[in-house]
Amino acid sequence: MSDSTPVAAADQQVLITRIFDAPRERVFRAWTDPDEVAAWFGPEHVDTPRERIGIDLRVGGRYELTMVRRGGGGEFAIGYEILELVEPELIVLRSDPMPEVGMHEPTVVRVEFHDHGAKTRMTLSDAPQPPAARGHAEAGWSAAFEKLATLVESTP
Amino acid sequence: MPTDQLSLTFAALADPTRRSIVTRLAEGEATVNELAEPFSVSLPAISRHLKVLERAGLIVRSRDAQWRPSRLQADPIDEAVEWMQSRKQTWETRMDRLDAHLRRKGEQDE
């Protein structure tokens, strides 16, 4: 994988692209070192305590953390399986289903890190993945889906 | 197999032919023949796809007309789009925090 040929297929929906003012080795570490993840992963007013983060950094390994609401409002565990891992270029995670919040199917989070001068361009996509439709061939559906949303919204 | 609406919607849309059908129907109702036209698959194959979409509640098919034209149902799709947007929002917020974290660290390292 070189930077001139982005891994993201043209039709794959990329939800987010960000430029970070740090080399990609650094940004990759922020995603894979539990000390680092603890510092940023939780949403506002939620902590992700270091001692409740487990990252078994290998393909097939687990990526787990617990979000704890500040001021004692309960906690919420999330877990992923690491599907792909290329340091410092790529992480693909498949979430465990979380039926209690309406997520009955896994989603696949794909994070790519590209050199952008001295900075890093990160792309992140997060798409539902029905169990019967595993693999990259199905990654393109959400792009069509977004277009569809536009069409539907403009149709009475 | 989960039967909640989101799972049904996403499962139904996990097939490229069905996505094309739905995109076509977003422009207006169409018969099986019209829907089959752009594809190199048989009419029965298209009918099977329509059944999946119908079961998922994404389309309705007219009962009486001879060619049973299909029409898109927007509600489940709106719901799925909303869900996707909330996922996006979650990640945007998280990336703001990652950005702030990298900046803080960068200053400390200097």
pLDDT in tens, A120-140: 999 998 877 644 444 443 444
**What percent of chain A lies above the pLDDT cut of 90?**
40
Spatial distance between the Cα atoms of B79 and B100, rounded to a whole number of angstroms: 32
pLDDT (0 to 100) of residue A4: 34
- Residue A107: pLDDT above 60? yes
Q: Do A104 and B6 touch (CB under 8 A)?
A: yes
| Cα distances (angstroms) measured from residue A43 to each of A31, A122, B55 | 15, 19, 37
Q: Do B77 and A149 touch (CB under 8 A)?
A: yes
Contacts with A, B 43-82, CB within 8 Å? 72, 74, 77-78, 80-81
Q: Do B11 and A124 touch (CB under 8 A)?
A: no
Which residues of chain B make contact with A14, given a CB cutoff of 8 A? none
| Cα distances (angstroms) measured from residue A109 to each of A14, A92, B32, B57 | 10, 6, 36, 27
Does residue A39 contact residue B106 with C-beta atoms inside 8 Å?
A: no
- Residue A79: pLDDT above 60? yes
Q: Any CB–CB contact under 8 A between B15 and chain A?
A: yes
Does residue B48 contact residue B35 with C-beta atoms inside 8 Å?
A: no
DSSP B59: E
- Residue B78: pLDDT above 70? yes
Does residue A144 contact residue B23 with C-beta atoms inside 8 Å?
A: yes
The structure tokens listed for A25 are 């080795």
| Count of A-B CB contacts under 8 Å | 111
The residue assigned the tokens 């993840």 is A37
Estimate to the nearest angstrom the gap between the alpha carbon of B91 and the chain centroid.
21
The structure tokens listed for B93 are 């917020």
Q: Which of B6, B91, B102 sits opposite A16 (nearest CB)?
A: B91
pLDDT averaged over chain A? 76
A78 contacts: CB under 8 Å, gap ≥ 6: A64, A65, A66, A67, A95, A96, A98
Please choose, from the candidates A139, A120, A121, the residue with its C-alpha nearest in 3D space to the C-alpha of residue A10.
A139
Chain B residue closest to A151 (CA)?
Answer: B26
pLDDT (0 to 100) of residue B39: 85
Distance from CA of B68 to the nearest CA of A (A): 21
Which of A47, A152, A154 has the highest number of chain B CBs within 10 A, making it the mutation to test binding with B?
A152
pTM summary value: 0.70
The structure tokens listed for A151 are 């069409």
